[in-house]
Amino acid sequence: MTISFPSPHEVRTVACIGAGVIGGGWVAHFLARGYDVVMWDPAPDSADKVRRLVDNAWPTLTELGLAEGARPDRLQIAPTLEEAVAQADFVQESAPEILDVKIDLLNRIDAAAPPSIVISSSTSGYSMTEMQITAPHPNRLVVGHPFNPPYLVPLVEVVGGEKTSPEAVAWASQFFALTGKSVITMDKEVPGFIANRLQEALWREALHMISAGEATVEQIDQAVTDGPGLRWPFHGPMTTFHLAGGEGGMAHALEHFGPSLESPWSRLMSPPLTENLQATLIDGVEKLTDARPTSDLIRERDRCMVAVIRAIEGIRGASS
């Protein structure tokens, strides 16, 4: 059955349920994009906390550029969850990461919200399949996983559960993109999603090295910020590895560096570097880079790295 949701362009009011660090960050983001925001959180001091967060974030958001009509005073505090979602055109839930709490809250939101709107959860670990089990309309529940702070970090990962309609996933992806987010629409549910799993792999390897006395906390941070971290704002690990192959690109990099995957450099086990996996990597990076020559990408990388280095030096110089 085809499900019809109003156009994402028609959204005027967003309900934010939960006003902790993530929920409050969403409040600031939607206010800066020119929406009316209705917030509800059961904590007695939540209204004061979220207003302080918005006030602190507003100068930065102003510097980045506000949408027409964006004002902090377009925030309303609702006395109940039901009143918060009653007139909403979209709901973003950001409750604590406790599965029973998520299940109950999404059930309540789904029962009270207008029947034609999409409901999104900020969960950082649970699948929507786990959370939508008691919801009366699970077809409209999606995950919209942000990164802290949501009003600055553009990435949001969107994925549905087993009972979520494809239309709801597509709608949420389009809506987040309209609000200025960089959207990954995931093809399937993965525990921890994509970006969390990548940063967790780095975090766990760092803990191993620190625990074994192989590196200090300071060395770990320096290794990232003054090494690969300089490339990551503009080239992720796939493009970085592609350029490591020089003119031969990913194919040469896999041929040259592939055997090192068998070396015990990491405590994580690597998958077999099959011909199919190699072909997927080579084809994928060609699509990712629009098949541009590596020489062009290298020049672009170098310009970006100079810009990042100068920006960091300017910030450090101003703060010293």
Residue 144: the pLDDT is 98
Question: How many Å apart are CA 16 and CA 74, to the nearest integer?
Answer: 13
Distance of CA 198 to the CA centre of its chain: 12
Residue 2: the pLDDT is 62
Domains and CATH numbers, the chain: 8-185 (3.40.50.720), 227-319 (no CATH)
Question: How many Å apart are CA 272 and CA 127, to the nearest integer?
Answer: 27
User: CB atoms < 10 A from the CB of 40, how many?
Assistant: 23
Q: What are phi and psi of 145, to 5 degrees?
A: -85, 115
User: CB atoms < 10 A from the CB of 298, how many?
Assistant: 13
- Distance (Å) of CA 210 to CA 202, 216, 232, 269: 12, 6, 23, 19
Q: What are phi and psi of 77, to 5 degrees?
A: -105, 120
Q: Report yes or no: 91 and 119 within 8 Å, Cβ to Cβ.
A: yes
User: CB atoms < 10 A from the CB of 95, how many?
Assistant: 21
Q: Report yes or no: 18 and 37 within 8 Å, Cβ to Cβ.
A: no
Q: Taking the chain (320 residues) in consecutive chunks of 10 residues, what is each chunk's mean pLDDT? A: 84 96 96 98 95 93 94 97 96 96 97 96 95 96 95 94 97 98 96 92 87 88 90 88 87 77 66 82 87 85 81 80
Residue 5: the pLDDT is 93
In the chain, what is the straight-line distance between the N-terminal and C-terminal CA atoms, in Å?
Answer: 61
At 102, which helix (H) or strand (E)? helix 99-112
